[in-house]
Amino acid sequence: MPTYHNAGGGYPNVSAPARQAKLDGNQNHHTIPSNVTSHPLIQNSTQHNVPSNLSASNIPSHPVSPTMTTHSNVTTPNITSHMNTGSTPVILTSNVTNPSNPAALSVNPRHEVKLNAMPWFHGKISRETAERLLRPREDGLFLVRESTNFPGDYTLCVCYQGRVQHYRVKYKNNQLTIDDEEFFENLALLVEHYEQDADGLCTQLTKSLPKEGKQDFCVDLKAFVKAGWVIQTHELELRECIGKGEFGDVLLGVYRGERVAVKMLKDNSEAAQRFLAEASLMTSLIHDNLVKLLGLVFNNQHMYLVTEYMSKGSLVDYLRSRGRLHVSKKDQINFAYDTCAGMAYLESRHVVHRDLAARNVLVAEDNSAKVSDFGLARDENFSLEGGKLPIKWTAPEALKQNKFSNKSDMWSFGILLWEIYSFGRVPYPRIPLADVVKCVEKGYKMEPPDGCPHEVYDIMRQAWDLQPEKRPTFYDIKLVLGQLKAEYTKGVN
């Protein structure tokens, strides 16, 4: 069995005592965890079959644990072109009835799901830091931070008459509230409400103080319902585990008579937000060489992301298990071209993958290759803060300066080409991991694998240029690989 590798109107103002009760009496600050784990969606359970009948009106709310960079500027692609022709969402429809085609599984109109950007969210900062940042003290200037006195809650900090007022934003019945009267499903909706009406606060929110560096977002589960991406629980049959993903186990499933891959959510709200971020990105990216999103399942115990099933598993496992006896030169150039085509599409959409490697490319039954693992994909020029990186696949500027771009993806593509033509060997085989970065910075480039065409090795060397701006684009390389693919196909025939 193949292994998957990641495969508002007006509201009456509250009384003066109630208004005062809104203030968060934070006096101390300490480090607190950002995860909120009380919601039923994020509690462990071994029961898979649960009631369905999910609708936009009864979908359970989900705690917000904003941890990721927004990619809200990514728009729904024109499915007839690789280039983005506008920001107007495209309704994706399919009338295909052939069950062997994954598109046949998606027969309802579907829209792109966008994330809610939160430039005003500053994360784990103290009361004192918030007050230092909120200058000049203009009435209505505000930011939101994680509460220091109430772990898992938030604090709305707003300027009024030369002072900063701190309002506790707490969870109640899995929704957010300040006054126990108005309830909101996420921080973005709460802020939007108080931007329209003070509704008991000292003043209306008029101007946000953006956080420097990477910004955060929140995800609304109902957006997936309204956009047509929800699969009813009874429609999905779960079978055996076929691998491990970033968020948890990946199971084989059956949906409308076809095999599918099902990513399960781990039990914490931070993962839930990243899980939904990946799903929201996948609703906007449609290409033959990207793994297709079929939908999501929400219920009171689990959250699943359902994608097309790639029966031959990851590319690296495919190469290693079959080797030179079964993987032909035509197969190799096809894998290279397919991956490049998928990446050229992402490039045209200004989306950076950040973890391109043979382990994150999957092989379909017809031997086509598709780019997978959008868990790390973000907007162009995203900078990573912390976290583990696959050193041997990551460009020097990304490792040293946290600068990720389509050009750093091109570096990784060069490594992936080397993997293809070495039949899945680990890159830099004779260099200790601790020495790889030093060697690369001195200009070292791996030798071509045995039997690698010189045209393909030329692409590798161009991809490994230490100056990102000198690396080719995926569009350019796709043209070169397309010519090579045509030559191999002609030679075989």
What pLDDT is recorded for position 273? 66
Does one domain contain both 300 and 203? no
Kindly report, residue by residue over 220-239, the tens digit of the pLDDT. 778 888 889 999 999 999 99
Does one domain contain both 195 and 252? no
Does one domain contain both 468 and 394? yes
Kindly report, residue by residue over 429-454, the tens digit of the pLDDT. 999 999 999 999 999 999 999 999 99
Kindly report, residue by residue over 94-150, the tens digit of the pLDDT. 223 333 444 445 445 678 888 778 999 999 999 999 999 999 999 999 999 999 999
Mean pLDDT of the 338-347 span: 97
Does one domain contain both 415 and 331? yes
Q: Does position 287 have pLDDT exceeding 70, yes or no?
A: yes
Does one domain contain both 337 and 469? yes
* CATH label of the domain that carries residue 454: 1.10.510.10
Kindly report, residue by residue over 253-277, the tens digit of the pLDDT. 999 999 999 988 765 555 666 777 7
Which residue, among 387, 381, 339, has the nearest Cα to 359 in the 3D structure?
A: 339
Does one domain contain both 246 and 263? yes
Does one domain contain both 341 and 484? yes
Mention every residue, 6+ apart, whose C-beta is less than 8 A from residue 82. 287, 344, 345, 348
Query: 157, 189, 217: which is the final residue of a domain?
Result: 217
Q: Does residue 19 form part of some domain?
A: no
Confidence of residue 294 (pLDDT cuts 50, 70, 90): very high
Mean pLDDT of the 327-345 span: 97
Q: Does position 387 have pLDDT exceeding 80, yes or no?
A: no
∠ CA 140-143-149, rounded to 5°:
120
Confidence of residue 377 (pLDDT cuts 50, 70, 90): low
Mention every residue, 6+ apart, whose C-beta is less than 8 A from residue 17. none
Distance between start and end Cα atoms, the chain: 32
Higher pLDDT: 265 or 22? It is 265
Confidence of residue 36 (pLDDT cuts 50, 70, 90): very low
Domain count, the chain: 3
**DSSP H or E segment with residue 307:** strand 303-308
What pLDDT is recorded for position 270? 55
Mean pLDDT of the 241-252 span: 83
* CATH label of the domain that carries residue 177: 3.30.505.10
Bridge partners (DSSP) listed for residue 184:
176
What pLDDT is recorded for position 269? 52
Q: Does position 483 have pLDDT exceeding 70, yes or no?
A: yes
SS3 content of the chain, % helix, strand, coil (to 5): 30, 20, 50
Does one domain contain both 146 and 267? no
With 0.85 as the threshold, say if the pTM is over it.
no
Does one domain contain both 180 and 229? no
Q: Does position 415 have pLDDT exceeding 50, yes or no?
A: yes
Q: Does residue 39 form part of some domain?
A: no
Q: Does residue 121 form part of some domain?
A: yes
Kindly report, residue by residue over 394-412, the tens digit of the pLDDT. 999 999 988 999 999 999 9
Query: 149, 183, 217: which is the final residue of a domain?
Result: 217
% of the chain at pLDDT higher than 90: 56
Does one domain contain both 203 and 284? no
What rounded mean pLDDT belongs to the chain?
78
% of the chain at pLDDT higher than 70: 71
Confidence of residue 29 (pLDDT cuts 50, 70, 90): very low
Does one domain contain both 340 and 479? yes
Q: Does residue 37 form part of some domain?
A: no
Query: 172, 190, 217: which is the final residue of a domain?
Result: 217
* Marked catalytic residue, from 199, 220, 355, 409: 355
Does one domain contain both 324 and 468? yes
* CATH label of the domain that carries residue 233: 3.30.200.20
Q: Does residue 7 form part of some domain?
A: no
Q: Which domain holds residue 210?
A: 116-217
CA distance 124 to 126: 7
Lowest mean pLDDT among 41-55, 121-135, 161-175: 41-55
Q: Does residue 1 form part of some domain?
A: no
**DSSP H or E segment with residue 347:** helix 329-348
Confidence of residue 215 (pLDDT cuts 50, 70, 90): confident
For residue 263, say whether it is annotated as part of any ligand binding site: yes
Q: Does residue 361 form part of some domain?
A: yes
Confidence of residue 246 (pLDDT cuts 50, 70, 90): low
Check the CA dihedral 139-145-149-153 and report its sign. Answer: positive
Q: Does residue 290 form part of some domain?
A: yes
Q: Is 355 a catalytic residue?
A: yes
What pLDDT is recorded for position 172? 83
